[in-house]
Structure 1
Amino acid sequence: MTEPLRLLCLEGDGIGPEIVNATLAVVQAAGRVLNRKIQTEKMDIGFAALKAKGSTIPQSVIEAAESVDGVILGPVSHNEYPPVEQGGRNPSGVLRKELELFANHRPAKTWVGLDAPSRKSFDLIVMRENLEGFYADRNMFAGCGEFMPEPDVALAVRKVTRKASLDIARAGFELAASRPAKHVTVVHKANVMRMTDGLFLECTRSVAKEFPSVAYKEMLVDAAAAHLVRDPTRFDVLIATNMFGDILSDLASELAGGLGLAGSLNFGALHAVAQAQHGSAPDIAGRDVANPVSLVLSVEMLLRHLGETNAADLIRASVGVALESPETRTRDLQGTLGTSAFTEVLCKLVEEGAR
Structure 2
Amino acid sequence: MKIAVAKGDGIGPEIMNAVIRVFNAAEVPLEYEYVDMGKWVFDKGFNNGMTDAAKQTIEELGILFKGPMETPKGKGVKSINVTARKTWNTYANKRVFQTLHGVDTVFSKAGIPIDITIVRENIEDTYGGIEHMLTHDVALSRRFITRPGSMQVIRYAFEMAKQKNARRITCGHKANIMKLTDGLFLECFYEVAKEYPELKADDVIVDDLCMKLVVQPNNFDVVVLTNLQGDIVSDLCAGLVGGLGFAPSANIGDHICIFEAVHGTAPDIAGKNIANPTALLLSGIAMLRHVGLLEKAAHIENALLYTLEQGVHTGDFGDKSVPPANTTAFADTIIANIGKKPQLNAKPELADVASTCTVLHPDKNTMLESKETSQEKIVGVDLFIESSELPEVIAKKSQRHAGVKFKIVNVSNRGTQVWPTGSVFTDLVNQYNVRFESIDGHSLNQQDVIGLYVSMSGDFKICSLELLNEWDGKKAYSLAQGQ
Same fold (TM over 0.5): yes
Offset, 1:92: 1.0
| 8 Å CA contact 1:20, 1:72 repeated in 2 | no
User: Equivalents in 2 of 1:177, 1:283: separation in Å?
Assistant: 42
1:344 is matched with 332
Residue aligning to 1:7 = 3
Cα separation, 2, equivalents of 1:29 and 1:68: 23
**Deviating more after overlay: 345-354 vs 9-18:** 345-354
Match of 2:119 in 1: 127
- The reply on whether 1:208 has 2:200 as its aligned counterpart is no
Distance in 2 between residues matched to 1:146 and 1:351, nearest whole Å: 52
Number of the residue aligned with 1:224: 209
Aligned to 1:301: 286
Determine which of 38, 41, 51 is the counterpart of 1:49. Answer: 41
Q: Deviations over 1:285-314 (max 9, x none)?
A: 010110000000001111111111111122
- CA contact 1:23–1:296 (8 Å) conserved in 2: yes
1:58 is aligned to: 51
How far residue 351 of structure 1 moved from its aligned partner, in angstroms, is 6.0
How many angstroms does 1:83 deviate by? 2.1
What CA distance in whole angstroms lies between the structure 1 residues aligned with 2:121 and 2:296?
27
After TM superposition, give the deviation of residue 260 of structure 1 in Å. Answer: 0.1
2:302 touches 2:340 (CA, 8 Å); kept in 1?
A: no
* Offset, 1:180: 3.9
Moved more, 116-125 or 232-241: 116-125
Q: Which has the larger radius of gyration?
A: 2
AA partner of residue 126 (structure 1) = I
Out of 308, 315, 320, the position equivalent to 1:331 is 315
Tell me which of 30, 38, 61 is aligned to 2:26: 30
State how far apart, in whole Å, the 2-side matches of 1:172 and 1:81 are: 34
Opposite residue 17 of structure 2, the aligned amino acid is N
Q: CA deviation at 1:271?
A: 1.2
Deviation readout 1:90-143 (Å, 9 max, x if unpaired): 221111111110000001111112211444221010000000011133xxxxxx
1:276 aligns with 2:268: no
| Counterpart code for 1:246 | D
Alignment partners' CA distance in 1, 2:302 and 2:173 = 34
More divergent stretch after superposition (95-104 vs 59-68):
59-68
Contact 1:330 1:338 (8 Å CA) reproduced = yes
> How many angstroms apart in 1 are the aligned matches of 2:288 and 2:337?
18
Cα distance in structure 2, aligned partners of 1:286 and 1:224: 39
The residue that corresponds to 2:429 in the other structure is none
- Percent identity, please: 36
Query: The residue matched to 1:77 in structure 2 has which SS?
Result: coil
2:85 alignment partner AA: R
**8 Å contact from structure 2 (residues 128, 144) kept in 1:** no
Structure 2 counterpart of 1:191, one-letter code: N
> Which position in structure 1 is the counterpart of 2:161?
176
How many residues are paired up?
A: 334
Q: Is the 8 A contact 2:70 2:80 kept in 1?
A: no
Higher helix share: 1
Contact residue 15 and residue 280 of structure 1 kept, 8 A: yes
Q: CA deviation at 1:47?
A: 2.6
Letter in 1 for 2:68: P
* Per-residue CA distance 1:39-70 (angstroms, 9 max, x = gap): 10112222321344544223332222111141
Q: Is the CA contact 1:30–1:351 (under 8 Å) kept in the aligned structure 2?
A: no
Residue identity matched to 2:242: G
Query: Which whole-Å CA distance do the structure 2 matches of 1:291 and 1:148 have between them?
Result: 41
For residue 176 of structure 2, the aligned residue among 191, 202, 221 is 191
Contact map agreement 2:170 2:204 (CA 8 A) in 1: yes
Among candidates 83, 86, 104, match of residue 75 of structure 2: 83
* Residue pair 1:62, 1:95 contacting (<8 A) in 2 also: no
Alignment of 1:62-73 (within 5 A): 62-73=55-66
SS at match of 1:283: coil
CA contact (8 A) 2:172 2:203 kept: yes
Q: Is the 8 A contact 1:182 1:214 kept in 2?
A: yes
> Are residue 16 (structure 1) and residue 12 (structure 2) matched?
yes
User: Which digits, 9 at most, give the CA deviation of each residue in 1:159-182, with x for residues without a partner?
Assistant: 111111111111111121123443
Aligned counterpart, 2:131: 146
Q: Which structure ranks higher in relative contact order (CA pairs < 8 Å, sequence separation ≥ 6)?
A: 1
Equivalent residue, structure 2, for 1:267: 252
Confirm or deny: 8 A CA contact 2:103 2:241 kept in the other structure: no
SS at match of 1:163: helix
2:251 match: secondary structure = strand
Does 1:40 pair with 2:51?
A: no
1:81 & 1:71 partners in 2: Cα distance? 24
- The answer on 1:100 being equivalent to 2:92 is no
Match of 1:111 in 2: 100
Residue type of the alignment partner of 1:339: T
